[in-house]
Chain A
Amino acid sequence: MGKLLIVADPASELPATLELVAAAHSLSNDSDIVAAIAGTTGVAAGDLPVSAVYVAEDERLGEPDSASFDAATDVLTAMVREIAPDVILCSRSDYTTVTAPRIAARLGSAFARDCTAVAHSDDGFMVTRPVYGGNADATYSLHGSAPPVIMIRPGSYDPAAADGTPELKSFDPAPHIRDTRSTLLRTVQEAREGVRLEDAEVVVSGGRGLGGPEPFAQLAELADLLGGAVGASRAACDAGWIDYSHQVGLTGKTVSPKLYLSFGISGASQHMAGCSSSRAIVAVNTDPDASIFKDARFGVVGDWSKVLPALVSALRDVS
Protein backbone atom coordinates (compact mmCIF):
# COMPACT_ATOMS: atom_id res chain seq x y z
CA MET A 1 0.00 0.00 0.00
CA GLY A 2 1.30 3.44 -0.93
CA LYS A 3 -0.36 6.17 1.04
CA LEU A 4 -2.82 6.34 3.95
CA LEU A 5 -4.72 9.54 4.61
CA ILE A 6 -6.00 10.54 8.03
CA VAL A 7 -8.75 13.15 8.04
CA ALA A 8 -8.62 15.01 11.35
CA ASP A 9 -11.70 16.71 12.77
CA PRO A 10 -10.47 20.25 13.53
CA ALA A 11 -12.72 20.43 16.60
CA SER A 12 -11.64 17.09 18.06
CA GLU A 13 -9.16 16.36 20.80
CA LEU A 14 -5.72 15.17 19.68
CA PRO A 15 -6.09 11.56 20.98
CA ALA A 16 -8.90 10.87 18.49
CA THR A 17 -6.48 11.66 15.66
CA LEU A 18 -3.64 9.72 17.30
CA GLU A 19 -5.94 6.67 17.43
CA LEU A 20 -6.23 6.95 13.66
CA VAL A 21 -2.43 6.94 13.37
CA ALA A 22 -2.41 3.72 15.41
CA ALA A 23 -5.09 2.25 13.13
CA ALA A 24 -3.03 3.27 10.09
CA HIS A 25 0.08 1.57 11.58
CA SER A 26 -1.96 -1.59 12.14
CA LEU A 27 -2.79 -1.62 8.41
CA SER A 28 0.75 -1.20 7.14
CA ASN A 29 4.25 -0.75 8.55
CA ASP A 30 5.89 0.68 5.50
CA SER A 31 3.30 3.02 4.03
CA ASP A 32 3.39 6.78 3.93
CA ILE A 33 0.87 8.23 6.41
CA VAL A 34 -0.32 11.78 5.83
CA ALA A 35 -3.05 13.87 7.47
CA ALA A 36 -5.51 16.45 6.17
CA ILE A 37 -7.19 19.15 8.25
CA ALA A 38 -9.82 21.48 6.85
CA GLY A 39 -9.97 24.25 9.47
CA THR A 40 -7.53 25.26 12.18
CA THR A 41 -9.03 24.91 15.64
CA GLY A 42 -8.02 22.25 18.11
CA VAL A 43 -5.78 19.62 16.57
CA ALA A 44 -2.07 20.13 17.22
CA ALA A 45 -0.96 19.40 13.66
CA GLY A 46 2.73 19.96 14.43
CA ASP A 47 2.96 16.93 16.73
CA LEU A 48 1.20 14.34 14.60
CA PRO A 49 3.46 11.35 13.89
CA VAL A 50 2.87 11.44 10.14
CA SER A 51 5.08 12.50 7.22
CA ALA A 52 2.99 15.49 6.16
CA VAL A 53 -0.06 17.45 7.28
CA TYR A 54 -2.09 19.27 4.66
CA VAL A 55 -3.84 22.24 6.24
CA ALA A 56 -6.62 24.20 4.57
CA GLU A 57 -7.62 27.42 6.31
CA ASP A 58 -10.62 29.54 5.47
CA GLU A 59 -13.11 31.42 7.60
CA ARG A 60 -15.89 29.36 6.02
CA LEU A 61 -14.31 26.32 7.70
CA GLY A 62 -14.71 27.94 11.12
CA GLU A 63 -17.20 27.12 13.85
CA PRO A 64 -18.74 23.65 13.44
CA ASP A 65 -22.18 24.05 11.89
CA SER A 66 -24.04 22.83 8.81
CA ALA A 67 -22.54 25.52 6.58
CA SER A 68 -18.92 24.83 7.60
CA PHE A 69 -19.59 21.09 7.20
CA ASP A 70 -20.69 21.82 3.61
CA ALA A 71 -17.47 23.74 2.99
CA ALA A 72 -15.37 21.01 4.65
CA THR A 73 -17.00 18.40 2.40
CA ASP A 74 -15.99 20.44 -0.67
CA VAL A 75 -12.45 21.07 0.56
CA LEU A 76 -11.70 17.57 1.85
CA THR A 77 -12.93 16.02 -1.43
CA ALA A 78 -10.45 18.26 -3.28
CA MET A 79 -7.66 17.41 -0.82
CA VAL A 80 -8.25 13.67 -1.29
CA ARG A 81 -8.08 14.10 -5.05
CA GLU A 82 -4.74 15.90 -4.79
CA ILE A 83 -3.22 13.55 -2.19
CA ALA A 84 -4.51 10.41 -3.98
CA PRO A 85 -4.34 8.00 -1.01
CA ASP A 86 -5.16 4.27 -1.03
CA VAL A 87 -7.45 4.58 1.97
CA ILE A 88 -8.95 7.36 4.09
CA LEU A 89 -9.42 7.05 7.86
CA CYS A 90 -11.45 9.33 10.11
CA SER A 91 -12.74 9.15 13.68
CA ARG A 92 -16.48 9.24 14.40
CA SER A 93 -17.69 12.70 15.42
CA ASP A 94 -20.50 15.07 14.48
CA TYR A 95 -18.19 16.57 11.82
CA THR A 96 -17.16 13.29 10.18
CA THR A 97 -20.64 11.78 10.44
CA VAL A 98 -21.85 14.61 8.19
CA THR A 99 -18.86 15.06 5.89
CA ALA A 100 -17.39 11.57 5.35
CA PRO A 101 -20.39 9.86 3.67
CA ARG A 102 -20.76 12.82 1.31
CA ILE A 103 -17.05 12.72 0.43
CA ALA A 104 -17.40 8.97 -0.24
CA ALA A 105 -20.43 9.61 -2.47
CA ARG A 106 -18.52 12.23 -4.47
CA LEU A 107 -15.45 10.03 -4.88
CA GLY A 108 -17.47 6.86 -5.57
CA SER A 109 -15.76 5.25 -2.57
CA ALA A 110 -16.85 2.38 -0.38
CA PHE A 111 -17.83 3.77 3.02
CA ALA A 112 -18.01 2.09 6.42
CA ARG A 113 -19.09 3.85 9.58
CA ASP A 114 -18.27 3.39 13.25
CA CYS A 115 -15.79 0.55 12.75
CA THR A 116 -14.13 -1.06 15.76
CA ALA A 117 -11.44 -2.82 13.70
CA VAL A 118 -9.90 -2.48 10.26
CA ALA A 119 -7.58 -4.87 8.43
CA HIS A 120 -5.85 -5.05 5.09
CA SER A 121 -5.10 -8.04 2.90
CA ASP A 122 -4.23 -8.63 -0.74
CA ASP A 123 -7.96 -8.59 -1.50
CA GLY A 124 -8.47 -5.16 0.01
CA PHE A 125 -9.84 -3.81 3.27
CA MET A 126 -11.97 -5.56 5.86
CA VAL A 127 -13.79 -3.79 8.67
CA THR A 128 -15.79 -4.88 11.70
CA ARG A 129 -18.61 -2.79 13.10
CA PRO A 130 -21.42 -3.29 15.60
CA VAL A 131 -24.90 -3.50 14.05
CA TYR A 132 -28.44 -4.07 15.30
CA GLY A 133 -27.87 -1.70 18.20
CA GLY A 134 -24.85 -3.73 19.34
CA ASN A 135 -26.65 -7.09 19.22
CA ALA A 136 -24.26 -8.30 16.51
CA ASP A 137 -20.88 -7.53 14.94
CA ALA A 138 -20.71 -7.41 11.15
CA THR A 139 -17.62 -7.94 9.01
CA TYR A 140 -17.52 -6.20 5.64
CA SER A 141 -15.08 -6.19 2.75
CA LEU A 142 -14.65 -2.89 0.90
CA HIS A 143 -14.22 -2.75 -2.87
CA GLY A 144 -14.00 -0.38 -5.81
CA SER A 145 -11.38 1.66 -7.62
CA ALA A 146 -11.75 4.77 -5.42
CA PRO A 147 -10.08 4.79 -1.98
CA PRO A 148 -12.40 3.45 0.75
CA VAL A 149 -13.47 5.88 3.47
CA ILE A 150 -13.36 4.19 6.87
CA MET A 151 -14.74 5.81 10.02
CA ILE A 152 -13.36 4.43 13.27
CA ARG A 153 -15.30 4.34 16.55
CA PRO A 154 -13.39 6.41 19.15
CA GLY A 155 -11.70 4.23 21.74
CA SER A 156 -11.08 1.33 19.34
CA TYR A 157 -7.31 1.86 19.13
CA ASP A 158 -4.71 3.00 21.68
CA PRO A 159 -3.50 6.45 20.59
CA ALA A 160 -0.04 6.65 19.02
CA ALA A 161 2.52 8.96 20.67
CA ALA A 162 2.38 12.62 19.63
CA ASP A 163 6.08 12.75 18.79
CA GLY A 164 6.08 13.58 15.08
CA THR A 165 7.65 16.40 13.12
CA PRO A 166 5.52 16.41 9.99
CA GLU A 167 6.03 18.69 7.04
CA LEU A 168 3.18 21.23 7.08
CA LYS A 169 1.69 21.81 3.65
CA SER A 170 -0.76 24.59 2.97
CA PHE A 171 -3.75 23.77 0.76
CA ASP A 172 -5.77 26.56 -0.79
CA PRO A 173 -9.43 25.77 -0.14
CA ALA A 174 -11.00 28.87 -1.71
CA PRO A 175 -11.44 27.57 -5.30
CA HIS A 176 -13.29 24.49 -4.04
CA ILE A 177 -15.88 25.92 -1.65
CA ARG A 178 -19.32 26.11 -3.21
CA ASP A 179 -22.07 28.42 -2.00
CA THR A 180 -23.65 27.01 1.11
CA ARG A 181 -27.38 26.62 1.29
CA SER A 182 -27.73 26.83 5.07
CA THR A 183 -27.17 29.55 7.65
CA LEU A 184 -26.55 29.19 11.37
CA LEU A 185 -29.04 31.41 13.21
CA ARG A 186 -28.00 30.69 16.80
CA THR A 187 -26.36 28.14 19.08
CA VAL A 188 -28.11 27.37 22.35
CA GLN A 189 -26.02 25.83 25.13
CA GLU A 190 -28.14 24.08 27.70
CA ALA A 191 -27.66 25.24 31.27
CA ARG A 192 -26.29 22.37 33.28
CA GLU A 193 -26.03 21.87 37.00
CA GLY A 194 -23.16 19.91 38.48
CA VAL A 195 -20.87 17.51 36.66
CA ARG A 196 -20.98 16.97 32.91
CA LEU A 197 -22.48 13.52 32.23
CA GLU A 198 -19.64 12.48 29.90
CA ASP A 199 -17.00 13.45 32.48
CA ALA A 200 -18.71 12.09 35.60
CA GLU A 201 -16.91 9.49 37.72
CA VAL A 202 -20.28 8.19 38.88
CA VAL A 203 -23.43 7.98 36.78
CA VAL A 204 -26.82 7.16 38.31
CA SER A 205 -29.18 6.10 35.55
CA GLY A 206 -32.88 5.29 35.38
CA GLY A 207 -35.07 3.49 32.86
CA ARG A 208 -38.56 2.40 32.02
CA GLY A 209 -38.76 0.35 35.23
CA LEU A 210 -38.96 3.54 37.31
CA GLY A 211 -42.51 4.04 36.06
CA GLY A 212 -42.57 7.84 35.99
CA PRO A 213 -40.66 11.10 36.28
CA GLU A 214 -40.69 11.49 40.10
CA PRO A 215 -38.02 8.85 40.88
CA PHE A 216 -35.42 10.86 38.97
CA ALA A 217 -35.35 13.31 41.89
CA GLN A 218 -34.19 10.43 44.09
CA LEU A 219 -31.62 9.41 41.49
CA ALA A 220 -30.34 13.00 41.50
CA GLU A 221 -30.05 12.84 45.28
CA LEU A 222 -27.79 9.79 45.03
CA ALA A 223 -25.80 11.38 42.19
CA ASP A 224 -25.27 14.51 44.32
CA LEU A 225 -24.14 12.43 47.26
CA LEU A 226 -21.52 10.68 45.10
CA GLY A 227 -20.51 13.75 43.08
CA GLY A 228 -21.94 12.17 39.95
CA ALA A 229 -24.44 12.88 37.21
CA VAL A 230 -27.86 11.49 36.27
CA GLY A 231 -28.32 9.41 33.13
CA ALA A 232 -31.34 7.75 31.56
CA SER A 233 -32.35 5.17 29.01
CA ARG A 234 -33.89 6.32 25.75
CA ALA A 235 -37.25 4.87 26.86
CA ALA A 236 -37.28 7.13 29.94
CA CYS A 237 -36.41 10.18 27.79
CA ASP A 238 -38.98 9.32 25.12
CA ALA A 239 -41.60 9.00 27.87
CA GLY A 240 -40.81 12.59 28.85
CA TRP A 241 -39.68 11.67 32.38
CA ILE A 242 -36.33 13.42 31.98
CA ASP A 243 -34.67 15.71 29.47
CA TYR A 244 -32.96 14.20 26.41
CA SER A 245 -29.62 15.67 27.48
CA HIS A 246 -29.47 12.77 29.98
CA GLN A 247 -29.89 10.01 27.37
CA VAL A 248 -27.14 7.37 27.48
CA GLY A 249 -26.79 4.94 24.58
CA LEU A 250 -25.96 4.41 20.95
CA THR A 251 -27.61 7.65 19.85
CA GLY A 252 -27.30 9.45 23.16
CA LYS A 253 -24.18 10.07 25.20
CA THR A 254 -21.32 7.65 25.71
CA VAL A 255 -20.12 7.51 29.31
CA SER A 256 -17.27 5.59 30.92
CA PRO A 257 -17.47 6.34 34.65
CA LYS A 258 -15.84 4.43 37.46
CA LEU A 259 -19.30 3.45 38.68
CA TYR A 260 -22.53 3.18 36.65
CA LEU A 261 -25.55 2.62 38.89
CA SER A 262 -28.66 1.63 36.94
CA PHE A 263 -32.21 1.44 38.25
CA GLY A 264 -35.04 -0.13 36.24
CA ILE A 265 -32.93 -0.55 33.10
CA SER A 266 -33.25 -3.89 31.29
CA GLY A 267 -29.94 -3.63 29.44
CA ALA A 268 -30.92 -3.44 25.76
CA SER A 269 -27.82 -3.44 23.56
CA GLN A 270 -28.44 0.10 22.29
CA HIS A 271 -28.33 1.37 25.88
CA MET A 272 -25.28 -0.69 26.86
CA ALA A 273 -23.44 0.71 23.80
CA GLY A 274 -23.33 4.00 25.72
CA CYS A 275 -22.09 2.67 29.08
CA SER A 276 -20.37 -0.67 28.56
CA SER A 277 -16.90 0.78 29.10
CA SER A 278 -17.81 1.79 32.68
CA ARG A 279 -15.41 0.27 35.21
CA ALA A 280 -18.23 -1.23 37.28
CA ILE A 281 -21.91 -1.47 36.44
CA VAL A 282 -24.49 -2.00 39.19
CA ALA A 283 -27.95 -3.16 38.15
CA VAL A 284 -31.10 -2.89 40.24
CA ASN A 285 -34.05 -4.54 38.52
CA THR A 286 -37.08 -6.56 39.60
CA ASP A 287 -36.66 -9.00 36.70
CA PRO A 288 -33.97 -11.61 37.52
CA ASP A 289 -33.73 -12.43 33.79
CA ALA A 290 -32.99 -8.83 32.72
CA SER A 291 -30.00 -8.93 30.39
CA ILE A 292 -28.24 -6.15 32.29
CA PHE A 293 -27.31 -8.69 34.99
CA LYS A 294 -24.95 -10.25 32.42
CA ASP A 295 -23.08 -6.97 31.96
CA ALA A 296 -23.18 -5.82 35.58
CA ARG A 297 -20.56 -6.51 38.23
CA PHE A 298 -23.09 -6.22 41.05
CA GLY A 299 -26.79 -6.91 40.82
CA VAL A 300 -29.78 -6.47 43.07
CA VAL A 301 -32.96 -8.30 42.14
CA GLY A 302 -35.46 -6.05 43.84
CA ASP A 303 -37.71 -3.03 43.79
CA TRP A 304 -35.76 0.19 43.19
CA SER A 305 -38.15 2.13 45.46
CA LYS A 306 -36.96 0.05 48.45
CA VAL A 307 -33.34 -0.50 47.40
CA LEU A 308 -32.52 3.10 46.51
CA PRO A 309 -33.52 4.85 49.78
CA ALA A 310 -31.73 2.18 51.83
CA LEU A 311 -28.61 2.56 49.65
CA VAL A 312 -28.70 6.36 49.95
CA SER A 313 -29.10 6.38 53.71
CA ALA A 314 -26.39 3.73 54.21
CA LEU A 315 -23.96 5.72 52.06
CA ARG A 316 -24.88 8.96 53.81
CA ASP A 317 -24.37 7.51 57.29
CA VAL A 318 -20.68 7.08 56.73
CA SER A 319 -19.86 9.79 54.25
Chain B
Amino acid sequence: MRIAVCAKQVPDPDIPPSRFKLDSSGKSIDASAITPVVNGFDLNAIEAAVRIKESESGDTEITIISAGTDFALDVMKKALATGSDELVLVDDPDTNALDAAGTAKTLAAAIEKSGPFDLILCGRQASDWDQAHVPLMLAEHLDLPCITVAQRVEASDNTARIERVLADGFQEVEVSLPAVVTVSNELGEPRYPALRGIMMATRKQPTTYSLGDLGLDSDQLTPLVHLEGLEIPVSEGQAELIEGDDDSEKGRNLAIRLREEGLV
Protein backbone atom coordinates (compact mmCIF):
# COMPACT_ATOMS: atom_id res chain seq x y z
CA MET B 1 0.00 0.00 0.00
CA ARG B 2 1.19 3.52 -0.76
CA ILE B 3 0.11 6.38 1.50
CA ALA B 4 0.63 10.08 0.80
CA VAL B 5 0.50 12.53 3.71
CA CYS B 6 0.14 16.23 2.93
CA ALA B 7 2.05 18.25 5.51
CA LYS B 8 2.66 21.94 5.87
CA GLN B 9 5.37 23.98 7.53
CA VAL B 10 3.83 26.64 9.82
CA PRO B 11 5.10 29.09 12.45
CA ASP B 12 4.95 27.44 15.88
CA PRO B 13 1.36 28.11 17.04
CA ASP B 14 2.25 27.63 20.71
CA ILE B 15 4.12 30.91 21.04
CA PRO B 16 2.67 33.42 23.51
CA PRO B 17 0.26 35.82 21.72
CA SER B 18 2.50 38.74 22.75
CA ARG B 19 5.25 37.51 20.41
CA PHE B 20 2.86 37.45 17.50
CA LYS B 21 3.64 40.45 15.23
CA LEU B 22 3.10 41.54 11.64
CA ASP B 23 5.93 42.20 9.20
CA SER B 24 6.33 45.50 7.36
CA SER B 25 4.02 44.42 4.50
CA GLY B 26 1.13 44.14 6.94
CA LYS B 27 0.03 41.05 5.03
CA SER B 28 2.02 38.36 6.76
CA ILE B 29 3.28 37.66 10.21
CA ASP B 30 6.88 38.25 11.19
CA ALA B 31 7.97 34.61 11.09
CA SER B 32 11.64 35.43 11.69
CA ALA B 33 11.16 35.31 15.46
CA ILE B 34 9.03 32.16 15.40
CA THR B 35 10.38 28.63 15.02
CA PRO B 36 8.92 26.76 12.05
CA VAL B 37 7.21 23.45 12.85
CA VAL B 38 5.17 20.90 10.95
CA ASN B 39 1.46 21.69 11.40
CA GLY B 40 0.20 19.74 14.42
CA PHE B 41 -2.76 18.04 12.72
CA ASP B 42 -0.42 16.98 9.88
CA LEU B 43 1.73 15.21 12.49
CA ASN B 44 -1.46 13.40 13.58
CA ALA B 45 -1.95 12.41 9.91
CA ILE B 46 1.64 11.09 9.73
CA GLU B 47 0.99 9.14 12.94
CA ALA B 48 -2.15 7.63 11.37
CA ALA B 49 -0.06 6.55 8.36
CA VAL B 50 2.63 5.00 10.54
CA ARG B 51 0.01 3.04 12.51
CA ILE B 52 -1.38 1.64 9.24
CA LYS B 53 2.14 0.71 8.17
CA GLU B 54 2.66 -1.19 11.44
CA SER B 55 -0.62 -3.08 11.19
CA GLU B 56 -0.38 -3.96 7.48
CA SER B 57 1.20 -7.28 6.63
CA GLY B 58 2.38 -6.18 3.19
CA ASP B 59 4.83 -3.44 2.30
CA THR B 60 3.54 0.02 3.08
CA GLU B 61 5.34 3.10 1.87
CA ILE B 62 4.65 6.59 3.22
CA THR B 63 5.39 9.71 1.16
CA ILE B 64 5.16 13.12 2.81
CA ILE B 65 4.20 15.86 0.35
CA SER B 66 4.38 19.59 0.94
CA ALA B 67 3.94 22.72 -1.17
CA GLY B 68 5.55 25.98 -0.15
CA THR B 69 8.81 27.86 -0.21
CA ASP B 70 11.61 28.73 2.23
CA PHE B 71 11.40 25.26 3.70
CA ALA B 72 13.29 24.54 6.91
CA LEU B 73 14.68 21.30 5.53
CA ASP B 74 15.62 19.90 8.95
CA VAL B 75 12.05 20.40 10.18
CA MET B 76 10.50 18.76 7.12
CA LYS B 77 12.99 15.87 7.15
CA LYS B 78 12.38 15.21 10.83
CA ALA B 79 8.74 14.53 9.94
CA LEU B 80 10.02 11.43 8.13
CA ALA B 81 11.73 10.10 11.24
CA THR B 82 8.81 8.18 12.77
CA GLY B 83 8.58 5.72 9.89
CA SER B 84 7.93 7.57 6.63
CA ASP B 85 9.93 6.80 3.52
CA GLU B 86 10.02 9.72 1.15
CA LEU B 87 9.72 13.51 1.11
CA VAL B 88 8.33 15.38 -1.90
CA LEU B 89 8.56 19.17 -1.83
CA VAL B 90 6.92 21.51 -4.30
CA ASP B 91 9.37 24.31 -3.55
CA ASP B 92 8.49 27.42 -5.50
CA PRO B 93 8.29 31.10 -4.47
CA ASP B 94 5.13 31.39 -6.58
CA THR B 95 3.31 29.17 -4.05
CA ASN B 96 3.16 32.27 -1.82
CA ALA B 97 0.48 33.77 -4.06
CA LEU B 98 -1.73 30.67 -4.14
CA ASP B 99 -5.16 30.57 -2.56
CA ALA B 100 -6.60 27.35 -1.13
CA ALA B 101 -7.91 26.26 -4.54
CA GLY B 102 -4.44 26.79 -6.06
CA THR B 103 -2.78 24.90 -3.22
CA ALA B 104 -5.23 22.03 -3.75
CA LYS B 105 -4.45 21.95 -7.48
CA THR B 106 -0.71 21.99 -6.74
CA LEU B 107 -0.95 19.14 -4.23
CA ALA B 108 -3.17 17.18 -6.64
CA ALA B 109 -0.52 17.55 -9.37
CA ALA B 110 2.27 16.50 -6.99
CA ILE B 111 0.22 13.49 -5.86
CA GLU B 112 -0.44 12.45 -9.46
CA LYS B 113 3.24 12.81 -10.33
CA SER B 114 4.44 10.82 -7.29
CA GLY B 115 1.58 8.30 -7.22
CA PRO B 116 -0.45 6.28 -7.58
CA PHE B 117 -1.45 6.30 -3.91
CA ASP B 118 -4.07 4.17 -2.18
CA LEU B 119 -4.71 6.64 0.59
CA ILE B 120 -4.10 10.36 0.99
CA LEU B 121 -4.03 11.68 4.55
CA CYS B 122 -4.11 15.36 5.55
CA GLY B 123 -4.35 17.22 8.86
CA ARG B 124 -7.88 18.49 9.47
CA GLN B 125 -6.71 22.11 9.19
CA ALA B 126 -3.54 24.17 9.39
CA SER B 127 -2.74 26.36 12.38
CA ASP B 128 -1.71 29.35 10.24
CA TRP B 129 -4.75 30.13 8.08
CA ASP B 130 -7.24 27.79 9.86
CA GLN B 131 -8.93 26.94 6.57
CA ALA B 132 -9.68 23.18 6.62
CA HIS B 133 -10.82 23.15 3.00
CA VAL B 134 -7.66 22.32 1.01
CA PRO B 135 -8.19 18.54 1.55
CA LEU B 136 -11.80 18.73 0.33
CA MET B 137 -10.78 20.71 -2.75
CA LEU B 138 -7.88 18.30 -3.29
CA ALA B 139 -10.36 15.40 -3.26
CA GLU B 140 -12.47 17.22 -5.87
CA HIS B 141 -9.47 17.72 -8.16
CA LEU B 142 -8.51 14.05 -7.83
CA ASP B 143 -12.18 13.00 -8.08
CA LEU B 144 -11.89 11.02 -4.85
CA PRO B 145 -14.15 10.72 -1.80
CA CYS B 146 -13.12 12.71 1.26
CA ILE B 147 -13.79 11.72 4.87
CA THR B 148 -13.03 14.48 7.38
CA VAL B 149 -11.95 14.73 11.02
CA ALA B 150 -10.84 11.16 11.65
CA GLN B 151 -9.83 9.87 15.08
CA ARG B 152 -8.96 6.39 13.78
CA VAL B 153 -8.01 5.15 10.32
CA GLU B 154 -7.69 1.49 9.34
CA ALA B 155 -6.90 0.63 5.74
CA SER B 156 -6.67 -2.62 3.84
CA ASP B 157 -6.38 -3.29 0.11
CA ASN B 158 -9.46 -1.60 -1.27
CA THR B 159 -11.26 -0.03 1.65
CA ALA B 160 -10.63 2.06 4.73
CA ARG B 161 -12.59 2.16 7.95
CA ILE B 162 -12.63 5.54 9.57
CA GLU B 163 -13.96 6.87 12.86
CA ARG B 164 -15.18 10.39 12.18
CA VAL B 165 -15.41 12.71 15.21
CA LEU B 166 -18.81 14.20 16.05
CA ALA B 167 -19.62 16.67 18.82
CA ASP B 168 -20.92 13.84 21.04
CA GLY B 169 -19.32 10.67 19.77
CA PHE B 170 -18.25 9.36 16.40
CA GLN B 171 -19.42 7.71 13.20
CA GLU B 172 -17.71 4.67 11.77
CA VAL B 173 -17.55 4.96 7.99
CA GLU B 174 -16.29 2.59 5.31
CA VAL B 175 -14.89 4.20 2.17
CA SER B 176 -13.54 2.72 -1.03
CA LEU B 177 -9.89 3.48 -1.82
CA PRO B 178 -8.27 5.59 -3.05
CA ALA B 179 -9.67 8.31 -0.79
CA VAL B 180 -8.65 11.50 0.98
CA VAL B 181 -8.98 11.41 4.78
CA THR B 182 -8.37 14.33 7.17
CA VAL B 183 -7.06 13.50 10.64
CA SER B 184 -7.75 15.26 13.94
CA ASN B 185 -5.85 15.37 17.22
CA GLU B 186 -8.35 12.92 18.76
CA LEU B 187 -6.23 10.26 17.03
CA GLY B 188 -3.72 10.72 19.86
CA GLU B 189 -0.29 12.24 20.27
CA PRO B 190 2.21 11.49 17.52
CA ARG B 191 5.07 9.29 18.68
CA TYR B 192 8.55 10.70 19.24
CA PRO B 193 11.10 9.64 16.64
CA ALA B 194 13.82 7.26 17.74
CA LEU B 195 17.42 8.37 17.31
CA ARG B 196 17.91 5.84 14.53
CA GLY B 197 14.88 7.21 12.72
CA ILE B 198 16.22 10.75 12.98
CA MET B 199 19.61 9.68 11.60
CA MET B 200 17.98 7.90 8.66
CA ALA B 201 15.70 10.86 7.98
CA THR B 202 18.64 13.28 8.00
CA ARG B 203 20.35 11.30 5.25
CA LYS B 204 17.31 11.31 2.96
CA GLN B 205 17.11 13.86 0.18
CA PRO B 206 13.74 15.27 -0.82
CA THR B 207 12.42 15.04 -4.36
CA THR B 208 11.86 18.65 -5.32
CA TYR B 209 9.57 20.09 -7.98
CA SER B 210 8.76 23.58 -9.16
CA LEU B 211 5.21 24.46 -10.22
CA GLY B 212 6.46 24.28 -13.82
CA ASP B 213 7.80 20.73 -13.27
CA LEU B 214 4.24 19.74 -12.38
CA GLY B 215 2.87 21.22 -15.60
CA LEU B 216 1.10 24.02 -13.72
CA ASP B 217 1.08 27.50 -15.20
CA SER B 218 -0.01 30.74 -13.60
CA ASP B 219 -3.29 30.85 -15.57
CA GLN B 220 -4.52 27.67 -13.87
CA LEU B 221 -3.47 28.96 -10.48
CA THR B 222 -4.79 32.54 -10.59
CA PRO B 223 -6.02 33.16 -7.04
CA LEU B 224 -9.67 34.12 -6.59
CA VAL B 225 -9.15 34.90 -2.91
CA HIS B 226 -6.77 37.82 -2.27
CA LEU B 227 -5.41 38.65 1.17
CA GLU B 228 -5.87 42.41 1.57
CA GLY B 229 -4.58 42.84 5.10
CA LEU B 230 -3.95 41.37 8.51
CA GLU B 231 -4.73 42.93 11.83
CA ILE B 232 -3.82 41.83 15.32
CA PRO B 233 -6.75 42.40 17.67
CA VAL B 234 -5.67 44.33 20.72
CA SER B 235 -6.65 42.89 24.04
CA GLU B 236 -6.31 45.75 26.49
CA GLY B 237 -8.35 44.16 29.21
CA GLN B 238 -6.95 43.33 32.62
CA ALA B 239 -8.58 41.03 35.11
CA GLU B 240 -9.53 42.26 38.55
CA LEU B 241 -6.93 40.40 40.59
CA ILE B 242 -8.18 38.74 43.77
CA GLU B 243 -5.79 39.39 46.63
CA GLY B 244 -5.15 37.49 49.82
CA ASP B 245 -2.35 36.61 52.28
CA ASP B 246 -1.96 33.18 50.75
CA ASP B 247 -3.47 31.20 47.89
CA SER B 248 -6.16 29.64 50.11
CA GLU B 249 -7.37 33.06 51.18
CA LYS B 250 -7.42 34.14 47.54
CA GLY B 251 -9.67 31.16 46.85
CA ARG B 252 -12.06 32.17 49.65
CA ASN B 253 -12.02 35.81 48.49
CA LEU B 254 -12.78 34.66 44.94
CA ALA B 255 -15.89 32.88 46.25
CA ILE B 256 -17.01 36.09 47.97
CA ARG B 257 -16.43 38.18 44.84
CA LEU B 258 -18.27 35.73 42.58
CA ARG B 259 -21.21 35.75 44.96
CA GLU B 260 -21.26 39.58 45.08
CA GLU B 261 -21.44 39.64 41.29
CA GLY B 262 -24.26 37.08 41.22
CA LEU B 263 -22.15 34.69 39.19
CA VAL B 264 -22.66 31.73 41.54
Which A positions have Cβ atoms within 8 angstroms of B?
Answer: 65-66, 70, 94, 97-98, 100-102, 104-106, 108-114, 126, 129-133, 135-144, 148, 180-190, 192, 196, 198, 202, 226, 234, 237-240, 244-245, 250-251, 253, 258-259, 266-270, 279-280, 282-284, 291, 293-303, 306-311, 314-315, 318-319
Contact = CB atoms under 8 A, between A and B. Distances in A.
Given A109-B224, A192-B168, A185 B137 contact: no
B257 interface: yes
B120 interface: no
A140 B228 contact: yes
A205 B225 CA distance: 37
Which applies to chain B's interface (DSSP): helix, strand, loop or mixed?
mixed
B232 A136 contact: yes
Given A111-B133, A244-B186, A299-B242, A310 B257 contact: no
A298 B228 contact: no
Contacts of B255: 310-311, 314-315
A135 B261 contact: no
B251 A105 contact: no
Contacts of B17: 135, 267-269, 291
A172 to B, nearest CB: 24
Interface in B13-58: 13-14, 16-18, 20, 22, 29
A182 B225 contact: no
B230 interface: yes
A251 B125 contact: yes
B179 interface: yes
Q: Which one of B104, B179, B185 has the highest number of Cβ atoms from chain A below 10 Å of its Cβ?
A: B185
Which applies to chain A's interface (DSSP): helix, strand, loop or mixed?
mixed
Contacts, number: 267
Contact of A132 (B127, B249, B264): B127
B29 A132 contact: yes
Contacts of B132: 97, 113
Contacts of A129: 130
B25 to A, nearest CB: 13
B239 A298 contact: yes
B140 interface: yes
Q: Which one of B151, B174, B242, B249 has the highest number of Cβ atoms from chain A below 10 Å of its Cβ?
A: B242
29 contacts: A66-B173, A104-B137, A110-B99, A136-B233, A139-B228, A139-B230, A143-B225, A180-B145, A182-B175, A183-B175, A185-B172, A185-B173, A186-B172, A187-B172, A189-B168, A190-B168, A234-B185, A244-B185, A258-B263, A268-B17, A282-B258, A291-B235, A293-B241, A294-B235, A299-B242, A300-B247, A309-B248, A314-B256, A318-B259
Interface stretch (B83-91, B159-167, B192-200): B159-167
Q: Which one of A66, A108, A130, A186 has the highest number of Cβ atoms from chain B below 10 Å of its Cβ?
A: A66
B interface, how many residues as a size bin? 35 or more
Contacts of A258: 263
Nearest to A129: B130
Interface string B105-120: 0000000000000000
B254 A298 contact: yes
A280 B20 contact: no
A188 B232 contact: no
